[in-house]
Structure 1
Amino acid sequence: MATGCPGPCCAGSPCGGRLPLRPHDPTPFVYPMSAFVDPVQPLLKAHRRLASDLADLCREVNHEVYLVGGSVRDAILGRTVRDLDLTLAADGLALGRKLADRLRCPFVPLDDTDRTGRVVLRHRFTIDISSFKGDTLEADLRKRDFTINAMAVRLADLLGGRPSIIDPLGGAADLAAGRLKAVSEASFHDDPLRVLRAFRLAGQFGLDITPRTETWIAACDEDLREISGERLLYELSLIMGRRRTSDRVTAMIRSGVFASLFPGWMGTSSASVSHRLERTDRLIARDVFLEDQGLYVHLTGCEAKMAGDRTSLWILRFASLVLCGILAGGAAGGTDGTPDRIGGAAGSTAGSTEPALDRVEGAAERLRLSKRERQALHQLVFGALRLLEGAASGEPDDEALCRILRGSKDDTPGAALLAIAHGPDEGIAAGGRIAKAARRLLRLYARHRILRAKGLILNGADIMDDLGLTEGPEIGRLLDKLETIQTIHDIRTREQARKLLYEDAADGLAGAESA
Structure 2
Amino acid sequence: MADWFVSSRTLAAIRRFLKGRAEQAYLVGGYLRDGLLGRASLDLDVVVTGDASNLARGLADALRGAFYPLDPERDVGRIVLRRRGRTYLVDLAALRGQDIEEDLATRDFTLNALARDLQRGGELIDPHGGQHDIRDRVIRALSPTVFQDDPIRLLRAVRLAAELGFRIEWATQERMRADASALANTSTERIRDELALLLALDAAPHLGALDELGILGVALPELADTSLREHGLRSVAALARILADAPTAGRTAQSKAWSRTRQHLQGEIAGGRSILVVLKWVALLHGTAFAAPEHPPRSATRLKVLEESLRRLNLSNREVELGTHAVRALTQAWALLAEYTARHLYRAFGEAREAGLEALFLALADEWSAREGPPEAGEEASWKDRLRRLGEILSRYWARDPVIFPPQLVSGEDLMRELGLAAGPRLGQLLAQIEEATAEGRLRTRREALAWAARRARQRN
Q: TM class, shorter-chain normalised? A: 0.7 to 0.9
Give the letter aligned to residue 355 of structure 2.
D
Q: Percent identity?
A: 28
- Residues 1:432 and 1:208: Cα distance change in structure 2 (over 3 Å): closer
Shift in Å at residue 195 of structure 1?
A: 1.1
Quick one: distance in 2 between partners of 1:435 and 1:368? 33
Quick one: distance in 2 between partners of 1:146 and 1:319? 31
Task: Give the equivalent residue in structure 1 for 2:375.
Answer: none
SS, match of residue 349 in structure 2: helix
Quick one: distance in 1 between partners of 2:437 and 2:256? 22
Task: Give the equivalent residue in structure 1 for 2:458.
Answer: 506
Shift in Å at residue 311 of structure 1?
A: 0.9
- Residues 1:73 and 1:314: Cα distance change in structure 2 (over 3 Å): same
- Residues 1:121 and 1:485: Cα distance change in structure 2 (over 3 Å): same
Quick one: distance in 1 between partners of 2:99 and 2:44? 20
Task: Give the equivalent residue in structure 1 for 2:422.
Answer: 470
Give the letter aligned to residue 275 of structure 2.
S
Q: Do residues 186 (structure 1) and 145 (structure 2) align? A: yes
After TM superposition, the structure 1 = structure 2 runs for residues 19-418 of structure 1, keeping only pairs within 5 Å, are: 40-45=4-9, 51=12, 54-55=15-16, 57-61=18-22, 63-123=23-83, 124-158=87-121, 163-242=122-201, 244-263=202-221, 265=223, 266-268=225-227, 274-287=233-246, 291=254, 294-295=257-258, 297-323=260-286, 331=292, 343=297, 346=298, 348-349=300-301, 354=302, 357=303, 359-388=305-334, 390=335, 395=339, 398-418=342-362
Quick one: distance in 1 between partners of 2:151 and 2:397? 43
- Residues 1:431 and 1:168: Cα distance change in structure 2 (over 3 Å): closer
Maintained 8 Å contact 1:326/1:332: no
Q: Which runs of 5+ in 1 are unaligned?
A: 1-36, 334-340, 511-515
Shift in Å at residue 495 of structure 1?
A: 2.4
SS, match of residue 90 in structure 1: coil
Give the letter aligned to residue 473 of structure 1.
P
Quick one: distance in 1 between partners of 2:61 and 2:395? 57
Task: Give the equivalent residue in structure 2 for 1:489.
Answer: 441
- Residues 1:264 and 1:375: Cα distance change in structure 2 (over 3 Å): closer
Shift in Å at residue 440 of structure 1?
A: 7.6
Q: Which runs of 5+ in 2 are unaligned?
A: 372-377
- Higher mean alpha-carbon deviation, 283-292 vs 170-179, is at 283-292
Maintained 8 Å contact 1:225/1:260: yes
Q: Which one of 398, 405, 423 corresponds to residue 367 of structure 2?
A: 423
Shift in Å at residue 220 of structure 1?
A: 2.6
- Higher mean alpha-carbon deviation, 262-271 vs 205-214, is at 262-271
Equivalences, count: 445
Give the letter aligned to residue 107 of structure 1.
F
Shift in Å at residue 459 of structure 1?
A: 1.0
Normalising by structure 2, what TM-score?
0.84
Maintained 8 Å contact 2:332/2:347: no
- Residues 1:90 and 1:487: Cα distance change in structure 2 (over 3 Å): same
Normalising by structure 1, what TM-score?
0.76
Shift in Å at residue 441 of structure 1?
A: 6.0
Task: Give the equivalent residue in structure 2 for 1:30.
Answer: none
Q: Let me know the Cα RMSD of the aligned residues.
A: 3.4
Give the letter aligned to residue 177 of structure 2.
A
SS, match of residue 100 in structure 1: helix
Maintained 8 Å contact 1:485/1:500: no
Shift in Å at residue 40 of structure 1?
A: 4.9
Q: Do residues 457 (structure 1) and 409 (structure 2) align? A: yes
- Residues 1:226 and 1:448: Cα distance change in structure 2 (over 3 Å): farther
Q: Deviations over 1:416-457 (max 9, x none)?
A: 122222215567745778668757865775676658878512
Quick one: distance in 2 between partners of 1:417 and 1:492? 31
Maintained 8 Å contact 1:293/1:439: no
- Higher mean alpha-carbon deviation, 296-305 vs 469-478, is at 296-305
Quick one: distance in 2 between partners of 1:454 and 1:404? 13
Quick one: distance in 2 between partners of 1:64 and 1:229? 35
Quick one: distance in 1 between partners of 2:133 and 2:118? 23
Give the letter aligned to residue 466 of structure 1.
E
- Residues 1:342 and 1:416: Cα distance change in structure 2 (over 3 Å): farther
Give the letter aligned to residue 9 of structure 2.
K
Give the letter aligned to residue 411 of structure 1.
A
Maintained 8 Å contact 2:233/2:284: no
Give the letter aligned to residue 367 of structure 2.
G
SS, match of residue 256 in structure 1: coil
Q: Deviations over 1:44-94 (max 9, x none)?
A: 425xxx625624524321x43110011211221222232221112322222
Maintained 8 Å contact 1:299/1:414: no
